Amino acid sequence: MGRHHTVPRASSGTVPDSDDLAGRRRRALWISLGLNGGFMVAELIGGVVFGSLALLADAAHMLSDVAGLAIALLALHLLARPASVRHTFGLQRAEVLGAQANGVLLLASAGWILFEAVRRISAPPPVAGRGVLIVAVLGLTINVGSAVLLARQRGRSLNMRGAYVHMLADAAGSVGVIVAAVAVITVGADWVDPAASVFIGSLVVITAYGLLRDTTHVLLEGAPDSIDPAEVERWLSAAPGVTSVHHLHLWNLTSETTALSAHVVLEGRPSLHQAQARGDVLKDRLADRFAILHSTLELECHECETEPASGSGGPPSQAQRVAHD
């Protein structure tokens, strides 16, 4: 008897008010989008006027930030859409797809930054250090402010993490631009500007790799890093009234929503009502113990591999009907 379970309430404080959380995340993304969109234009102008590749590189990265924040907002909108006949879980995977698109954008911007840096490092053009320094300090302030704003709302959401790592990488990029500007001002080392761009590009590649790795893991329905499947199986097997557990599967619907399915062999020959009640208790405890909010348990009275062959004689027993209803 397989039954699906979705927890409609908070379990030991593990399930936040989803509407309130989505609203806070949406506000954080809109504020970050406005700040970064405005500053991206300032960096582009500054890079051209002051002749700084590091500023142009950071502006290109910020362009991916603006696109990434827009993707995160779109994913949040799709995530809120209700389930339908064709999409029975709604569009929850839009959150993961949005984060993956952010990772691809990061890689693309890193490729351009590294290409331009390598091309210029042997013959660096003159750079107006003081103008670059002013723009970079302003950029660092905006990047750090946006990162803090998003960090407060990200939780375990890969979509919010994608937006957050964009801001972190840009903050580190702004630090690189500041170092380059100081080197140009103090010792006239124009070569530090493209060298800083190499640092920025390498940093973007690292952050993009981590994001793409984690989103691909979710899309391939890998087990969540925060939960050990073996521990869940041991815990279920040791629960009162349970003989054994097999065919256990764990995966993420979204980065914050874990799902489970398993075959659970119950002791004795329970009635249909007793088996259902036992299953409900197990599902509530899974939500409390592991924050698994979507669970489907196939309740059995014996191992499914040892099920009597069809035609072995007589109608199925009540316990058999419970196991395979």
- 253, two tokens: 């619907």
- In this prediction, residue 305 carries a pLDDT of 54
Shared-domain flag, residues 97 and 210: yes
Tell me what the mean pLDDT of segment 309-314 comes to.
42
Asked whether 246 and 303 are in contact (CB, 8 A), the reply is yes
C-alpha distances out from residue 284 to 50, 236, 247, Å: 62, 12, 20
State in Å, rounded, how far the first CA of the chain is from the last one: 5
pLDDT in tens, 243-297: 999 999 998 877 667 889 999 999 888 888 888 999 999 999 998 888 888 888 9
Q: Which of 194, 219, 244 delimits the end of a domain?
A: 219
Does residue 4 lie in a domain region?
no
Model confidence at 311: pLDDT above 60? no
Shared-domain flag, residues 56 and 184: yes
Burial class of residue 324, CB neighbours in 10 A (0-12, 13-18, 19+): middle
Shared-domain flag, residues 97 and 208: yes
DSSP 209: H
C-alpha distances out from residue 22 to 17, 30, 39, 72, 228, Å: 9, 12, 26, 12, 28
Model confidence at 108: pLDDT above 80? yes
- In this prediction, residue 89 carries a pLDDT of 67
- In this prediction, residue 260 carries a pLDDT of 92
Shared-domain flag, residues 101 and 241: no
- In this prediction, residue 236 carries a pLDDT of 92
Which region among 37-41, 82-86, 190-194 has the lowest average model confidence (pLDDT)? 82-86
Model confidence at 234: pLDDT above 90? yes
How many CA atoms within 13 Å lie on the side-chain side of 255? 24
d(CA 127, CA 162): 32
- 38, two tokens: 């405005």
pLDDT in tens, 146-188: 888 888 776 666 667 777 777 877 787 778 888 888 888 888 8
> 191 — alpha (psi -120 to 50), left (phi > 0) or beta?
alpha
d(CA 36, CA 55): 14
- Return the SS3 of 8: coil
Model confidence at 30: pLDDT above 80? yes
Does residue 42 lie in a domain region?
yes
Q: What pLDDT band is residue 83 in, cutting at 50, 70 and 90?
A: confident
Model confidence at 13: pLDDT above 60? no
* Maximum mean pLDDT: which of 17-31, 36-50, 179-193, 285-299: 285-299
Shared-domain flag, residues 70 and 29: yes
Higher pLDDT, 222 or 255: 222
Burial class of residue 10, CB neighbours in 10 A (0-12, 13-18, 19+): exposed
Model confidence at 110: pLDDT above 70? yes
d(CA 171, CA 58): 9
Does residue 187 lie in a domain region?
yes
Q: What pLDDT band is residue 322 in, cutting at 50, 70 and 90?
A: very low
d(CA 274, CA 126): 80
Residue in 179, 49, 63, 183 with CA at minimum distance from that of residue 113:
63
**Structural domain for 271, as ranges:** 229-324
User: CA-based angle 102:107:109, to the nearest 5?
Assistant: 95
Tell me what the mean pLDDT of segment 126-145 comes to.
82
Tell me what the mean pLDDT of segment 21-31 comes to.
80
Shared-domain flag, residues 26 and 95: yes
Does residue 8 lie in a domain region?
no
* Maximum mean pLDDT: which of 38-52, 147-161, 231-245: 231-245
- Return the SS3 of 257: strand
Percent of the chain with pLDDT over 90: 11
Total domains in the chain come to 2
Q: What pLDDT band is residue 231 in, cutting at 50, 70 and 90?
A: very high
Tell me what the mean pLDDT of segment 53-57 comes to.
71
Those residues whose C-beta lies under 8 Å from the C-beta of residue 261, and which sit 6 or more positions away, are 2, 247, 248, 249, 295, 296, 297, 298
d(CA 242, CA 95): 36
Model confidence at 1: pLDDT above 60? no
Q: What stretches of the chain show up as alpha helix (H) in DSSP?
A: 18-50, 53-79, 94-121, 129-154, 158-187, 192-219, 229-237, 272-290, 318-324
Residue in 322, 100, 98, 117 with CA at minimum distance from that of residue 201:
117
- In this prediction, residue 156 carries a pLDDT of 66
Higher pLDDT, 61 or 190: 190
Tell me what the mean pLDDT of segment 291-311 comes to.
70
- In this prediction, residue 315 carries a pLDDT of 43
Shared-domain flag, residues 184 and 314: no
Shared-domain flag, residues 195 and 314: no
Q: Which of 219, 244, 279 delimits the end of a domain?
A: 219
